[in-house]
A and B are shown apart, each in its own frame.
Chain A
Amino acid sequence: MLSEAQCQEIFERVQRASRVRETEVFLEASRSALTRFANNIIHQNVAEEGMQVSVRAVVDGRTARATTNKIGPDALRRVVEQATQIAGWQPPDPDLLEMPGPQCYREVKRMCPHTAQLTPEARAQAVEKVVRRAERAGLTAAGIYANSYRIQALLNSSGLFAYHQETKAEFSVTCFNEQGSGWAKGSLISADQLAIDELAERACQKALASQNPQELPPGRYTVILEPAAVLDLVGFFSYDFAATAVADQRSCFTQRLGKKVFGENISIWDDVYHPLQSGVAWDGEGIPRQKVVLVERGIVKNLVYSRQAARKMNAAPTGHGFLLPNELGEAPVNLVFAGGESPFEEMIRTTQRGVLVTRFWYIREVDPYQKILTGVTRDGTFYVADGEIQYPVRNLRFNQSLLEMLNQVEMLGPAVRAAGEESFEMVVPAMKVADFRFTEVTKH
């Protein structure tokens, strides 16, 4: 789609058109497709191809970015000129660093040729099986089956060249009828490993187990959170681990670095090289991503740093910066939570009175420093008592501090690659958490 040689050629054309000493080019090309189904039919089926050339120019200590998806000679000359011109319309930035030179990158394998070439027929065939499975159970199925192939490259006038290619396959399904619903999702580099039939079966079984939910009064409950439920909550921590967010005093870890914020059983790191992770192994300036221990046994140990933040805060860059210029600085995007050894069944068996949550929905931050989040349960919520699942319950709204929650984790399952609908994929365990605060109950 866009070979290393082609990237180099585009960069050379940009550099020839550039009249400034420092120029950076970020290239992105992708092909993606998505088959969407609902009411047991395919109702939407799309494909796209596209490419972007994004140029950053530095003019006397000022920098700016211009981006185009046109790659003709005139367009490239124009985008370089535009980046150069707009860079001039600002005061010099004393914190701006020279562009980094060549870097050494650790190889990450993210490419599955079969996934890149998955056809609409293959996706429709898989969806047809899922729909028939739902129909046999008297349910309606809705969901997506998507595949994509993306290439990213970063080159600069100091000789840096970073290149990455990645495929992704994603399947998400909700099975439901008037009385209840169930959901399951997978997102992997290879479509061959998605286990679509298994995911569809899980969603069907959840829906059947969710029939005729009863009302549970709001209050504090022990919760057993499936990995997808954990993922969509803890994803809200991502920007808090950014050094720039701490410097700006908008992170929940402001004045908490080095302190014990979570329980002993909580350790978190950012590791793009983890076998269950995906994504690019370099950042917006081409700096190789480091594995960073963020939380160790409940203590906030480290943050992630862009080059600029690292220099300001007397630290080493960790390879987590965004494309420059930007106001957010950096963020960890390959979070890994330490897991435990508790089987999910054990969490249920040891619960006297609790709620099992399949996933949450419409999660939003209520308070940035206490890290209170709100949202509702969805597609499979069950009352657990005396060590057994008793019955499905109506969806519940929660208002819960994440800081408090991660001090009340009683059991951890093995960490797995989880996919949700509100956060990016990460490696997290199922959790049993005490005193989770449900504040209202819905009518369904």
Chain B
Amino acid sequence: MRAWAQWALDTAVMRGASYADVRVVELRNRVLSVKNGRVGTIAETESLGLGVRVIAEGAWGFASTDRLTRERIEATAAEAVAIAWASARVKKADVVLAPEQKIIAVWRTPYKKDPFAIPLSAQMDLLFAVDKELRSIPGVTLTETAMYFTRQEQFLASTEGSGIQQTKIFSGAGLTATSFSNGEIQKRSYPNSFGGQFSAAGYELVEELKLVENARRVGEEAVALHKADRCLEGRRTIILDSAQLALQIHESIGHAIELDRVLGTEANFAGISFLTLGKLGCLQYGSEIVNVVADARLEHGPGLGTFGYDDEGVPAQGIDIIKDGRFVGYLSSRETARAVGLARSGGAMRAESWNRIPLIRMTNVSLLPGTYSLADLLADTDDGIYLETNRSWSIDDRRLHFQFGTEIAWEIKGGKKTRMLKNPSYSGITTEFWNSCDAICDRTHWTLWGIPNCGKGQPMQTIGTGHGATPARFRNVLVGVAYAK
């Protein structure tokens, strides 16, 4: 990998690049799934390639290849420089990067069990056991369970002298029970929807999830939802479970704090952000109990946004985003940090693979724990709704107006969870919503959730992000609009 990177760097410099970095990436993925008693997917994929990013004539160029001969690597680096020259045709100022130290380092995801070393038979046996349990529940009409494993080996080298080798392991697993009855489809997922839970961890994650042990409860809830009352529209007190709150953080905080959106470079596709530069340090984003960080460091936990160095070679950092309710920080890159006058990048640049450029991506954007136990929080709520597990999500292109639906909800009356409610939804305006937060559960309820499918950029890149969250309470929230007549 080092020789390939050096060939590319040498060519880029020779062709006139004032800066270049090269990422050589090798990916291995395993996807296993079982549906209704049969294998759905059983597949292994590997991919090895190299991407060269350059600044030449004060503008960006990037080219990538998987033909790793010296000739093709040098041609790819030369192409990146030629592309930068074309970019320079439509520029107003030269690209300047915030300074960063030269780093020579090796970093690995800590894990206990290499998922690729676990016999495939054991993994398939577990999936079939989960599936069997789900299919034994009368009324469940579709059963799906899956596991996902990724190993990413990456070597990053730059003309500033950095050389960083990172090995990252990601694992994920989950199950879904769907029930069709009387013209209605209801679904329950465990431990989360859209694939389950994902972490920077080994096979130990799958074992800790206890999929078989949770299958029956979840399947029975899917069936029971048909007979539940509908969540009616109105303004209510709501408590979000930690998985739903993780997605709420992702959509209404995580994307909004990306400096590339703020500075307009995502305007055509993903959109911009309501968090204009003047709001930094001034905006009361949430109530005083709301504290949010963007933390890529290991000590924050094994999140999908945990790493040693970002894809510009900037060390992982923990950054305050919301402090005592006040908006205090953005996610940044070396270019955007320089543009807004920050001393250095916050280290949030990541690329999906060798064939994509790094973009500003969420690391682990997490709500810090509060003080309530869940039992106390419920007991403290006289009249409200407890919403669990995301089913739908949508937010406008400035990250202000959102609507979420969840798979299930429970009415809270007199401090207790009472009847089940189906088709729950809630909507609101980002800052009003976070300012209505009046209770957050403590660390014993805190989970660092992994969202594996965050899409951004053109060409589209899908990447995993981490979000620590606990159940939390919000007052006077509009619910039920999605199904209102």
Contact = CB atoms under 8 A, between A and B. Distances in A.
Nearest to A181: B267
A39 B483 CA distance: 39
A369 B399 CA distance: 28
B86 A144 contact: no
Interface in B76-94: 76, 79-80, 82-87, 89-92
Interface string A240-253: 00000000111000
Interface string A87-124: 10111010100000000000000000000000111011
Interface string B269-313: 101000000000000000000000000000000000000000000
Contacts of A40: 90, 92
B403 interface: yes
Contact of A95 (B38, B51, B119, B483): B38
B258 interface: no
Interface string B166-202: 0000000000001010011100000000000000000
Interface string B442-468: 000000000000000011000000000
B483 A374 contact: no
**Chain A interface size range:** 35 or more
A38 B482 contact: no
A4 interface: no
Interface in A364-396: 364-369, 372, 374-376, 378, 395
Interface stretch (A11-19, A62-70, A283-291, A409-417): A62-70
B264 A142 contact: yes
Interface stretch (A44-52, A224-232, A347-355): A44-52
A76 interface: no
Q: Interface residues of A: mostly helix, strand, loop or mixed?
A: strand
A369 B185 contact: yes
Contact of A69 (B35, B49, B269, B403): B49
B371 interface: no
B394 interface: yes
A64 B40 CA distance: 10
A397 B403 contact: yes
B427 interface: yes
B89 A367 contact: no
Interface in A11-58: 32-52
Contacts of B85: 120
B92 A46 contact: no
B264 A374 contact: no
A42 B89 contact: yes
Nearest to A369: B185
A172 B268 CA distance: 8
Contacts of B394: 362-364, 374-376, 397
B91 A48 contact: no
B64 interface: yes
B21 interface: no
A67 B44 contact: yes
Contacts of B39: 62, 90-91, 93, 325
B241 interface: no
Contact of B59 (A33, A42, A372, A395): A42
Given A362-B397, A442-B401, 6 more contacts: A36-B458, A86-B44, A87-B42, A93-B39, A120-B82, A124-B90
| The 4 A-B residue pairs with the shortest CB-CB distance in the complex, in nearest-first order | A327-B40, A120-B86, A249-B180, A142-B267
